[in-house]
Structure 1
């Protein structure tokens, strides 16, 4: 004869099932999904060991491929409230300035500059974010603390423009705090700012990415509008 459960047994099973279900639900809510991305601040990502993987959100400050003449790749730069970083990409993406994106990549060094090495598939557009203004710094302040940021420097041209083609052109300026190199990349066969019109002792203002090539820190303008000549 088949046995039947008593009312007390049924109630006990129901209570136990409810407790187990509640515990499972609570556990699911407290633990992130295994494949959930953890986004870190760019400043935190920059401090990670080489080879570490990081996911960051930021606003595009240098369009993809702008520095291709010197880097040989199609990267771009992005910035958040804590810092900035150059994202190295093998393939070009259609990203406008001031677009917010999320990128997952591997921290590395290219000619001693901290970069986030990524693939096109690891870049996600998050929408427009508004314009990012440059940080005003002296020529002597361009160094590791501002590397990766969009900066603006002013100073007098200290020497004749150096032709470093096919990579670009070198302009040197100083505001009295120390000479800095402005590296002018080539886009569509032309330098991104008008170097031909520059003369020694001329006062200019340049906006660009604070970057590093080996032991030299530099400012890299992005377009013609990044030069204001007096």
Structure 2
């Protein structure tokens, strides 16, 4: 008797056209809500919910909760590799995406997520802080601040050592609702937005959650974090 993983069960999950399309919509590593995946798969919300539950049970997907919302992503790189291998021997198809409203497009560049920075800029800042080694992803959706990070934040006027952590820690990974990747939240994220507004890198909109990037901010984001804010 030869022992072999039950690839038939996994193949059956992927074989359904709607489920395959939903998985393909997640191939870029982002996490998407059920409604967007239902749209991509061309199925109703109820049908999508059933598909998602089966793929969760089958180990193809992972689910992340952010507030009242649930976001789904591929369970890991092995799933992505399997999909890419199958895609290499199949015909090219188009994934349906929901059109973005004008107001949402305006907010995608930079906005407040409760009390911290979000949108393309928020994600770019979090990614740059990680690339430079100032913050490091940790368990329980937290970021750890490195000694280099303490020094950098101190340079822009934030004394990390005096900040009081919440039960979620000092710095938290918050899943961005438009970019589907994490930005920086928690007391450090709150203080960073406050400080960047106080030093005129950013300016809060008076009539919405939008955050405006000032000319000074354009210069400082490039010099301090290597971010071309004009391209966002």
Q: Normalised by the size of structure 2, how large is the TM-score? A: 0.28
Higher helix share: 2
Give TM-score, length-normalised by structure 1.
0.28
Please state which structure has a larger fraction of its residues in strand.
Answer: 1
Greater Rg over alpha carbons, structure: 1
